[in-house]
Amino acid sequence: MIEKIFFKHAKQIYFKNILRQTQQSYSHKTTTAKIGTIVNANDPSFIGIETIFTNELKFIDKEYYDPVSTFRILNSVKDVQLPKDFKLTEEIFIKIYCKMITLNIMDKILYESQRQGRISFYMTNIGEEATQIGSAAAVSLEDIIYAQYREAGVLLWREYPIIDFMNQCYGNHKDTSKGRQMPVHYGSKKLNFVTISSPLTTQLPQAVGTAYALKQFKKDACVVCYFGEGAASEGDAHAAFNFAATLECPIIFICRNNGYAISTSTLEQFKGDGIAARGPAYGIPTIRVDGNDVLAVYYATKTARELCIKKGQPFLIEAMTYRLGHHSTSDDSTAYRSTDEINHWNYHTPISRYRDYLESTGLWCDQRDREFKKCVRNSILLALTEAEKELKPCWKELFTDVYYTMPKHIR
């Protein structure tokens, strides 16, 4: 069971491992120091801490711990062993691939649209399709989504219409946000997808608050909150983790660790073992997954959701992936990373890995792939053309939905 991979119970498992690894470190071949364990039944225990005493002075750092392992299923086409309780119909297997392809094609079309001056801004999801689609397929429509700005695939899985993506990016009068949001700042009350905010990390404490509300109302649902590893460097992330852990809120934190926070590499962001290492420190069961393996992401998220609702506690998933595109249309990523690095990852895309698997099982083929891509491209281009023809919102919409009773000077 994947449940065994999670840090299931921080007090029982995580701290025992720390003690074991610390003992091993003290007896390491590079030192002759030994632990002198001091146990006194009369000593009061420190509140909230499980520990042992030693008379040896020793500082510990990340070198004393094994790095968090990365869970994956698609090791290679010839070595794919699905877990025994992994149950998906052929229809869902194919739907996952189709949504990944649709997201990829939509990205390319809208990116080119911005370059042609037809829309003002865009952010692609290229290289991160598996993290979005895999996790979205594992949760319920009743679960509330708090996204950052690279989760269009989650909405796509929830059947958000292509035309609505286009209307939002063009900011026309059919845009549900009435042209008052930047492109790619989607939202849908119907699909339980909270409108995206531009400021970094604001969604994390908000998501925990919503999860706490679900707990209070005893809802059979959870909150799924997406964020990048760069957002985890903000203070709001630490507050949210602690808030969720201490109040035992039903929330799944999904970190997209794609290597870069705009132009800042992870090598410059933190010195610890990624984001996953932070989970147990806050008392949050945690797993690190191969974010380019859509089946691994699906299985980890599905298990996390079941445990999250059953136990009423937060879970953290760090999905290791790579951002193949620029951060946005305002960015030139070749200024801070080499083309060789990008090309290397281009040979290991989530879509190609999953397609190889589907073909090995007989669920997909070249002809079907060509026909599907052509159909999707035509439908997206048609929607784009329709959205482009629509009028902009009326200027009066600037103040609607802002005030319950509009002030006199605004009227």
One of 112, 159, 306, 341 is an active-site residue; which one? Answer: 112
- CB of 101 closer than 8 Å to CB of 355: no
198 assigned to active site: yes
- CB of 285 closer than 8 Å to CB of 293: no
Q: CA distances (Å), 89 to each of 75, 94, 174, 245, in order?
A: 21, 9, 36, 35
Strand partners, 54: 37
327 assigned to active site: yes
Grouping H, G, I as helix, E, B as strand and the rest as coil, residue 4 is: helix
One of 27, 140, 198, 352 is an active-site residue; which one? Answer: 198
The Cα–Cα gap between 267 and 252 comes to 26
User: Rounded to 5 degrees, what are φ and ψ at 36?
Assistant: -105, 95
Residue in this structure with the two tokens 């996952």, named with its chain if needed: 96
First-last CA distance in the chain: 61
Residue by residue, DSSP assigns 258-327 as -SEETTEEHHHH-SSSTTTTHHHHHT--EEEEETT-HHHHHHHHHHHHHHHHHHT--EEEEEE----S-S
User: Rounded to 5 degrees, what are φ and ψ at 274?
Assistant: 65, -155
328 assigned to active site: yes
One of 128, 185, 229, 327 is an active-site residue; which one? Answer: 327
Edge-to-edge strands, sheet with 193-194: 70-71, 286-290, 315-320, 251-257, 223-228, 144-146, 193-194
- CB of 323 closer than 8 Å to CB of 345: no
Among 203, 193, 197, CA closest to 240: 203
One of 25, 113, 135, 328 is an active-site residue; which one? Answer: 328
- H-run or E-run covering 162: helix 162-170
318 assigned to active site: no
Grouping H, G, I as helix, E, B as strand and the rest as coil, residue 96 is: helix
Radius of gyration (C-alpha) of the chain in whole angstroms: 24
Catalytic residues: 112, 198, 327-328
